[in-house]
Amino acid sequence: MSKLAIYGGPKTIQAGEIKPWPPIDRTDEELVLNALHAEKQARGDHNIALEQEFAAWNGSRYALFTNSGTAALHMGLVGCGVGAGDHVLVTAYSWSSSATCILHHDAIPIFVDIDFDTMNMDIDKIEAAITPRTKAIVAVNLHGLSLDFDRLLAVARRHHLKVVEDCCQSHGALFKGRKVGTFGDAAAFSFNQNKCMCCGEGGMFVTNDEQVYQQASQLWSFGETRRPEQSRDYHAYALGWMYRNNELTAAFARAQLAKYPHHFEILRANGAVLNRLLPGTPALILPVEPPGHTHNWYNYNLRIDFEAAGWTGDKRQFRAAVNAALNAEGVPTAVWQQFILPEMTVFQARNAYGDGYPWSIPGANEGVDYNPARFPVAQRHCESYMALVMALRAPNGPDLAERIAGGIRKVFENIGQIDPDRILK
C-alpha cells in the first residue's frame, strides 16, 4: 500500500470532496421564508403541521415539537409518571442526556452495561439492575441501531416498568419492520444538525397513550393543561418548563422530513458499501446489524482490535493516533464520547442540585453503585472506537463511500506503522 498521508503520503480524499450536511434546496428556502413572513413566529401552522406529518411518518398517535431531544426525553419520563426518588435504568454508554434527563425530574439513574456487538444496553443484564424503586427504562437505540424490543419489553412487562425510547440517533431505524419510537410508552427524537433528520436544533416527543401525552404536554408548556393554539387560562397546574419551539425551525424541519425517506435510502446504500468492502480489514472491528434490525447508520463505528494490532500500550493514545491517521487520509472520523456515563462528575459526586440532591432523597441512594469497574464492556467500547458520522449522508453517494472504505483500509492495513509518539507529538 502507498505511504500513509500522516507521514507525507498521498491523501485518499481531498478537502471539499465530502459535501456538507444537510443538503439545502428550494423546498427548505420556500418553507422557511413562508414561516419568516407569517403572522405567528412562535407556535403556529408549521409547528402543528410538523407534528402531524412526523406522527404520520413514524406511526405515532401523538407528537409534540420540542426545542431538543433532551426535552423530549424529560417529557417522556414525566408522561410515564416518573418522579422524585424513583430509579430509572439506562445504558452505561450514551450521550449524557440519556441519563441527565432522569435527574431533571429528581429521579436516579441506574446504569446497565452494554452488549459489545450492538453497543446498546445488554438486555441480559437488566433484571440484575432492577431495584425496589425502579419505575422505568430509558431504552436508547444508539448510533442508529434498534434494541431487541421483543426481549426488552418482555422484561419490562414482567417487572411493570415503563419504557421511554431514546431515538435521538435512530430516525427510521427498524426492528422487525417496525420503526423505533413505536415500541415504548413514549419516545424522543432529536433534530440537532448532526442527526440524520435535522433542523439545526429541535426534537420531537411521541406517544400513543393519551394520558402520557397530556402529562408530557404540561411539562412542555409551563405546567398548563392547554397548548398555545388552544384557549389557554395561563394557569400552572403542575411544575412545567418551556420546551416549545418556533415557526422558522418547524418549517425547516418539515422540509427535511419530506426528504428524509430519500436521505435514509442513501444512508443505507452507503453503509452497505462499507459493509461490503471492509470485512477482513486487519485489526478492525466492524459494527453489526443483527437479523431483524435495520440500521440507519447515523454513526458508523470503527473499533480497534488492539491485540490484532499488536498494541500493548495506552489504548486511548493509540486510538487517537489511528484517528489522526484516518483524518489525514480525508476520512472524517472522530471520538464522540470519551467517558462512560457513570464516570461523569455529576454521577460520581451524586450531586445535581446541591446538598447531594436527588440522591439525598430518603432511600433513593440505596442500591446505587457508580463504580466504573462495574461496566467493563462500556469501557472497552469507549476506549476503542472512532465514529464516522456525516460522510455517509446525502448528497454523498456510493462512489465516495467506496473511497472512504479505501482510506480506512489503507490505515488499518498499515496499522503496524502507527506510532503515537510520532503522530501525537
What is the residue whose three cell numbers read 443538503?
Answer: 23
Report pLDDT for 150.
Answer: 98
Distance, in Å, from the CA atom of 389 to the CA atom of 195, rounded to the nearest integer, reads: 9
Cβ neighbours for 209, distance < 8 A, ≥ 6 positions apart:
61, 62, 79, 185, 186
Distance of CA 44 to the CA centre of its chain: 28
pLDDT of residue 60: 98
Domain 26-256 falls under CATH 3.40.640.10: yes
Angle between the N-to-C axes of helices 26-36 and 247-277, in degrees from 0 to 180, rounded to the nearest 10: 160
- Residue 40 makes CB contacts below 8 A (sequence gap 6+) with 247
Per residue in 260-308, pLDDT tens? 999 999 999 999 999 999 999 999 999 999 999 999 999 999 999 999 9
Cα 79-82-88 angle, rounded to 5 deg: 120
Distance between CA 411 and CA 100 in Å, rounded?
37
Its CATH class, for the domain covering 5-21+258-336+380-423, is alpha beta
Please tell me whether residue 163 adopts helix, strand or coil conformation: strand
Helix, strand, or coil (residue 88):
strand
Q: What is the pLDDT of residue 231?
A: 87
Strands 333-334 and 385-388: antiparallel
The three cell numbers of residue 86 are 424513583
CA distance 399 to 77: 43
How buried is 15 (Cβ within 10 angstroms: 0-12 exposed, 13-18 middle, 19+ buried)? exposed
- pTM, rounded to two decimals: 0.96
Report the half-sphere exposure of 158 (CA within 13 A, side-chain side).
Answer: 9
- 214 three-class SS: helix
pLDDT, residue 196, reads: 97
| pLDDT tens-digit profile, the chain (425 residues) | 589 999 999 999 999 999 999 999 999 999 999 999 999 999 999 999 999 999 999 999 999 999 999 999 999 999 999 999 999 999 999 999 999 999 999 999 999 999 999 999 999 999 999 999 999 999 999 999 999 999 999 999 999 999 999 999 999 999 999 999 999 999 999 999 999 999 999 999 999 999 999 999 999 999 999 999 998 999 999 889 999 999 999 999 999 999 999 999 999 999 999 999 999 999 999 999 999 999 999 999 999 999 999 999 999 999 999 999 999 999 999 998 899 999 999 999 999 999 999 999 999 999 999 999 999 999 999 999 999 999 999 999 999 999 999 999 999 999 999 999 999 98
Cα 397 to Cα 16, 157, 279, 355: the distances in Å are 14, 42, 20, 53
Element (H, E) at 134: strand 134-140
Looking at residue 385, its pLDDT comes to 98
Give me the sheet containing 186-190, strands edge to edge: 62-66, 203-207, 186-190, 162-166, 134-140, 87-91, 108-112
Give ranges for CATH 3.40.640.10 in the chain. Answer: 26-256
Residue 1, pLDDT score: 54
Question: For residue 415, what are the contacts with CB-CB under 8 A and spacing of at least 6?
Answer: 282, 283, 309, 322
The whole-number pLDDT of residue 2 equals: 81
Three state DSSP letters for 298-312: CCEEEEECHHHHCCC
pLDDT given at position 76? 98
Q: Where in the chain is the domain with CATH 3.90.1150.10?
A: 5-21+258-336+380-423
The amino acid at residue 88 is: V
